[in-house]
Structure 1
Amino acid sequence: MARILFSVVVGFILARLCQCANSTLGLPDPLSLPPSQYWDGDDGPWSTFLVQVGTPPQQVRLLPATGESSTWVVLPEGCTSTGPVDCPNLRGFEFSINLSSTWQNNAIYQLNLYEESALGYTANAKYGYDTLTLGIDGKGLPTLEHQIIAGIATEEFYLGNLGINPRPLNFSDLNDPQPSMLHTLRNQSMIPSTSWSYTAGGYNHVPRTYGSLVFGGYDTSRFVANNITFNFAPDISRDLLPAVQSITTNISNTPLLSTPIYAFIDSLIPDIWLPLKACHAFEQAFGLGWDNTTESYLVNDSFHSTLLQKNPFVTFNIGPDFTGDSVSIRMPYWAFDLTATYPLVANNTRYFPLQRADNDTQYTLGRAFLQSAHLIVDYERSNFSISQALFPNTSVSQNLVRILPPPTVINGITPPSNSPKGSQERSLSAGAIVGIVVGSVLAGILITTGIFLLVAKRSKNPYDDGGNTAPAILVDDELELGGTPAARPGVQGVASLPLKVREMEASIPTRVGLEGSVEQVKDSDTKE
């Protein structure tokens, strides 16, 4: 009897260890979306990314939207006879619904501008479903069917946007969630985990460096690794909410931020929104002047030359809390040297991307900040990291690293996983994994000979889903495209509202451990 029980236990251990070892094998590589190699936007210029929408595919250039779940494209209605002749190209190309045989119409709704509405952004979109291809033909990137497409005509957002948030959208009620692009990639095993990394690149950096967007991993050549991890904030519409502990500059001994704040990271917004007192400190240090007409800090050529001679930079110290460890993100002056064009201004004008916030709901680190900062977001562990961005030249190849999904507990056994020591740790080879499995089995047999009569107590899965949901937005499907949308309701009590669109958070397991398991994939030959 003892011999039979011994054999059963050994077989169980062998099967489970093999299952654990194989759980990290066969995962897909991260997907790196190549930049379009264009610099676009009326408030930039910014490095855009090329995707194709519809059948036959229509190419559009888009900006990543960290808080959005749908893909926004500019409709032909967005270019009128009063605009510039090359308007379609300036707006990253148009998408014509009537030219796509796979378009499925929904209705006109208000865009899901949860946090952006607090900054004064409002817009409507014509929602529907269509085929979405990442990149261009011949690059081997996936094509996804029945993706949520929002057609815009407003100039509030001059370029289209690629939503990279995994939350599904609900039209009319909560019973029919429509999956996001990131969720579809993960659900169809096209990426190893529900995660992404992004840095905006730099038009004014020498040499100019395009942005980097990777799904399911990150490119180690684009940032300086650190050991600080940020947990998601409780409000899922403001999940990327680090603490700005301090802001300083090399051209003044006076801190630019006197009191720490929490600021939302949002790539949909170009500017950095800070308290009025902090803006006054910037004015004093840099000699900035506020323009009431454009409600921005304009910079003329003479003043620009003066700033170039001073060679100023600004350092943001970012941490999980107001005190303790932090990451220093250094922004040179070139990252603040942006150009406004039509339709924001009649003539091209330099501006400093700083905005005056009225209250803490407006504190935002926008796309200007993401020129110098590299962001990695892991939705399966509910955490993210912020690092100093790097700007490799075209001779430096990508070095893609997987973000593995969290391990699962099977009958009380947790699969082993790599603990990263910085971003350069390499994954175990298949032979090494097999060796570990065999060694572990032998060790298990030796241990089992002494304790095989003991009954192991089943442990609780530390990755149980949290089941959070996002607040809703009240919209009116009778609104004309580009008209004035309905006001955003408060977060409390939204379930009783006559909702037309809701955005929900997919269940996200609680984060366990440090950075999470990572595995180096390969040194890609792809160059930006």
Structure 2
Amino acid sequence: MTCANTSPPLGLGWENVTVSNDGQAISRGIALAIGNPQQIVSLRLSVGDDNTWVFNNADCVSSSNDSCIGLKGGVFDFKASHTYSPTLEASWNGSHDASITDGSYIFFNDQIRFGINGTAYGFPLYMDQPGQGTQSGLGMGPGSTFQTAAVESGSAPSKAWGLWVGSRSVVQPVDGALWIGGYDTNRIGGDFLDFTTYDRCPTCVEITNITYEYPGGSASLFSNSSETLSISLEPFQRALNVPEDIFLNFARVSNGTVGTDPGTQALLTYPPDAQFGNLTITLKNGQDGYQTTTPAQELFLPPRNFNSQGQYAITNDTYLLAGLANATVKPGYVFDWGIPFLTMNYLIVDYEQKKFSLAPALRGPYGVSNGALVQPPCSGLAPTSTTAAASPTASTITTAQPTVTVTPSPLPIRHSSTNVGAIVGGVVGGVGGLLVIAILLFFLVRSRQREKAARTDRAAAIAEVHESGAKNERLSQVSCYRPRCQIILTLAKFTGTSPTEVSEMGANNNMEHWLYTQSGNYEVSVSFGPDVRKGVRLGESLNPADSDALN
């Protein structure tokens, strides 16, 4: 597979991100800055979704409710963003996958910033229903709009990605990292084994055995040797979900007690001084299988939640909770396995090659390796020694726009007769000027004839823009050169109209570039005509994923 561009892999840290204006609320995830001025949110990665979603600030009622803001991974105040543009679901340019078919959402477009210099304008997002869900999510499914934006903006060389979620161990927590267009070889402690991706379940795999190894013995959590369990590897999930029979078998062999506190009824509790064991899982992979072990320090943790200051803290130190959860799913759906499993394994996903790969992960700090050594999965790039981008903070993010490389328009810019006369008067003199003026008058007459012939084209192009919702004052220049026309739309710097609005004006137009000018205005060059290709809708999903099985 050849890289789409020469950009190095995009590294995004999975780490603590400050998400409240008072600097108190901290949420672990991948940082994203939305809007103008920018608002920072912390996202958990989801392979069961193609779209990125955030929470409305009204969900936490008050901007000082740090406990709620931390839990949500930050909230988005759409009224504060000058580039926010709501839209109907039918005209929204996100992925219309199964995750948005149920419920009521607010669909919108806005600019986002990610990593060090990554920027995408008119990016599709939606806001979740009030009171629903836990943390905002970064959709990384087969039709991921974020992967598309990262590659098309030149921020990543391919849509394949590598992930280590980090460790949430109380004893030695370690930050993780997502690499789009690459994977970190310094986090890999063994050989990769490949698994096949499925259209509606991209990281599904079958477990053939789960063994609990405790001091003095071991026991399988399966009731018989022929039993298997189908799961989906889901970074968004914080637990390992299992059916009730496996849950009860685990309770028996580990001497666990079903929790009674709110939020713990589907978990097992243990006294802090209990003797704990490890969980060994065998995945089906050809004849040999893939075996991995989650140790006690990653499996048994104290209950934690967000306190009034928005800090993720221990809420009760009198017991520990196991990361194995009692869950039920709809018939035909699978169980999600999240962070306790992925902490021990490095994950690479390549939808184009229809595979994902697992290898044992090195959990400790980098130490002598001194950072990541990133290998692109596509050809044409060399490995890069680097580190994942630090999360943006209020002090490091500015409202200055990045430099945008603009492709010059192939269409000629017309000049009026007044401009021609001024130029001629400045350079022509003497007797020879009469001859030059005569020649220019000839070309001026021909120009007026062409202009007259193009009036119909110009009128049609303007009418199409008006039908698409653009206002008259935004039309600063119209140029036609049959059979094509070019329109320059000048928008105020702080405008509610996003680039996506312009790009969806019709089937026979193409937004060629966004330009941030020194005068503080945005200019959009749009070409009309039969030879202009139709723009691709950002994030269209060819293989929608079933996200009903996620939570």
Query: What SS class does the counterpart of residue 230 from structure 1 fall into?
Result: strand
Q: 1:198-277 residue pairs with structure 2 within 5 A?
A: 198-204=163-169, 206-233=171-198, 236-251=199-214, 252-257=217-222, 258=224, 259-277=227-245
Instruction: Work out whether residues 14 and 166 of structure 2, in 8 Å CA contact, stay in contact via their aligned partners in 1.
Output: no
Match of 1:282 in 2: 250
Query: What SS class does the counterpart of residue 279 from structure 1 fall into?
Result: helix
Of 75, 79, 83, which aligns to 1:102? 83
Cα distance change of structure 1 residues 386 and 156 upon mapping to structure 2, 3 Å threshold: farther
Cα distance change of structure 1 residues 218 and 128 upon mapping to structure 2, 3 Å threshold: same
Please state how far the C-alpha of 1:299 moved relative to its aligned partner.
Answer: 5.3
CA RMSD of aligned residues (A): 3.9
Match of 2:477 in 1: none
Of 389, 403, 419, which aligns to 2:377? 403
Query: 2:123 is matched by which residue type in structure 1?
Result: Q
Match of 2:542 in 1: 505
Query: 1:192 is matched by which residue type in structure 2?
Result: P
Query: 1:31 is matched by which residue type in structure 2?
Result: L
Please state how far the C-alpha of 1:209 moved relative to its aligned partner.
Answer: 0.3
Q: Matched residues in 2 for 1:373 and 1:296: separation?
A: 28
Of 351, 357, 374, which aligns to 2:346? 374
Q: Matched residues in 2 for 1:91 and 1:505: separation?
A: 30
Query: What SS class does the counterpart of residue 273 from structure 2 fall into?
Result: helix
Aligned residues: 364
Q: Matched residues in 1 for 2:334 and 2:373: separation?
A: 36
Please state how far the C-alpha of 1:277 moved relative to its aligned partner.
Answer: 2.0
Q: Matched residues in 1 for 2:86 and 2:39: separation?
A: 17
Q: Matched residues in 1 for 2:339 and 2:133: separation?
A: 13
Over residues 64-92 of structure 1, what are the superposed CA-to-partner deviations in whole Å (9 max), with x where a residue is unaligned?
11222222122111103699554324433
Please state how far the C-alpha of 1:204 moved relative to its aligned partner.
Answer: 1.1
Match of 1:80 in 2: 61
Q: Matched residues in 1 for 2:196 and 2:352: separation?
A: 11
Query: What SS class does the counterpart of residue 296 from structure 1 fall into?
Result: coil
Of 50, 58, 64, which aligns to 2:39? 58
Q: Matched residues in 2 for 1:82 and 1:399: separation?
A: 40
Please state how far the C-alpha of 1:134 moved relative to its aligned partner.
Answer: 0.7
Q: 1:302-317 residue pairs with structure 2 within 5 A?
A: 303-307=270-274, 310-317=275-282
Match of 1:16 in 2: none
Query: 1:504 is matched by which residue type in structure 2?
Result: S
Match of 2:321 in 1: 351
Instruction: Work out whether residues 207 and 393 of structure 1, in 8 Å CA contact, stay in contact via their aligned partners in 2.
Output: no
Cα distance change of structure 1 residues 46 and 197 upon mapping to structure 2, 3 Å threshold: farther
Q: Matched residues in 1 for 2:72 and 2:160: separation?
A: 28
Over residues 254-296 of structure 1, what are the superposed CA-to-partner deviations in whole Å (9 max), with x where a residue is unaligned?
2113412221122233222223221121111112223477463
Match of 2:265 in 1: 296
Quote the sequence identity (%).
18
Match of 1:175 in 2: none
Does residue 1:141 correspond to 2:91, yes or no? no
Query: 1:393 is matched by which residue type in structure 2?
Result: P
Cα distance change of structure 1 residues 26 and 156 upon mapping to structure 2, 3 Å threshold: closer
Please state how far the C-alpha of 1:27 moved relative to its aligned partner.
Answer: 2.8
TM-score by length of 1: 0.60
Query: 2:279 is matched by which residue type in structure 1?
Result: V
Please state how far the C-alpha of 1:141 moved relative to its aligned partner.
Answer: 3.1
Over residues 178-232 of structure 1, what are the superposed CA-to-partner deviations in whole Å (9 max), with x where a residue is unaligned?
xx11022223443222211122211216431012111011111223232421011
Does residue 1:330 correspond to 2:293, yes or no? yes
Query: What SS class does the counterpart of residue 248 from structure 2 fall into?
Result: helix
Instruction: Work out whether residues 63 and 159 of structure 1, in 8 Å CA contact, stay in contact via their aligned partners in 2.
Output: yes
Query: What SS class does the counterpart of residue 105 from structure 2 fall into?
Result: strand
Query: 1:505 is matched by which residue type in structure 2?
Result: L
Cα distance change of structure 1 residues 207 and 348 upon mapping to structure 2, 3 Å threshold: closer
Match of 1:48 in 2: 29
Q: Matched residues in 1 for 2:354 and 2:95: separation?
A: 25
Q: Matched residues in 2 for 1:262 and 1:81: separation?
A: 42
Match of 2:14 in 1: 35
Q: Matched residues in 2 for 1:342 and 1:113: separation?
A: 31
Q: Matched residues in 2 for 1:55 and 1:221: separation?
A: 37
Query: 2:336 is matched by which residue type in structure 1?
Result: T
Please state how far the C-alpha of 1:246 moved relative to its aligned partner.
Answer: 1.0
Query: What SS class does the counterpart of residue 254 from structure 1 fall into?
Result: strand
Cα distance change of structure 1 residues 82 and 98 upon mapping to structure 2, 3 Å threshold: closer
Of 122, 126, 134, which aligns to 1:150? 126
Which of these two proteins has the greater Rg computed from alpha carbons? Answer: 2
Query: What SS class does the counterpart of residue 61 from structure 2 fall into?
Result: coil
Over residues 8-29 of structure 1, what are the superposed CA-to-partner deviations in whole Å (9 max), with x where a residue is unaligned?
xxxxxxxxxxxx9xx6796321
Match of 1:412 in 2: none
Q: Matched residues in 1 for 2:326 and 2:110: separation?
A: 36
Q: Matched residues in 1 for 2:105 and 2:351: separation?
A: 27
Over residues 30-54 of structure 1, what are the superposed CA-to-partner deviations in whole Å (9 max), with x where a residue is unaligned?
11112343499xxxx9731211001
Please state how far the C-alpha of 1:381 moved relative to its aligned partner.
Answer: 0.2
Q: Matched residues in 2 for 1:73 and 1:56: separation?
A: 16
Q: 1:117-132 residue pairs with structure 2 within 5 A?
A: 124-132=104-112
Of 53, 63, 68, which aligns to 2:49? 68
Q: Matched residues in 1 for 2:360 and 2:218: separation?
A: 23
Q: Matched residues in 1 for 2:18 and 2:39: separation?
A: 19
Does residue 1:384 correspond to 2:356, yes or no? yes
Instruction: Work out whether residues 273 and 362 of structure 1, in 8 Å CA contact, stay in contact via their aligned partners in 2.
Output: no
Cα distance change of structure 1 residues 373 and 239 upon mapping to structure 2, 3 Å threshold: same
Please state how far the C-alpha of 1:162 moved relative to its aligned partner.
Answer: 1.4
Cα distance change of structure 1 residues 106 and 326 upon mapping to structure 2, 3 Å threshold: same
- Structure 1 gaps of 5+ residues are 1-19, 169-179, 408-416, 425-501, 508-528
Over residues 234-270 of structure 1, what are the superposed CA-to-partner deviations in whole Å (9 max), with x where a residue is unaligned?
xx22121111121112114321134122211222332
Match of 2:161 in 1: 196
Q: Matched residues in 2 for 1:320 and 1:305: separation?
A: 37
Instruction: Work out whether residues 123 and 156 of structure 1, in 8 Å CA contact, stay in contact via their aligned partners in 2.
Output: no
Q: Matched residues in 2 for 1:340 and 1:24: separation?
A: 42
Please state how far the C-alpha of 1:127 moved relative to its aligned partner.
Answer: 1.3
Please state how far the C-alpha of 1:367 moved relative to its aligned partner.
Answer: 3.2
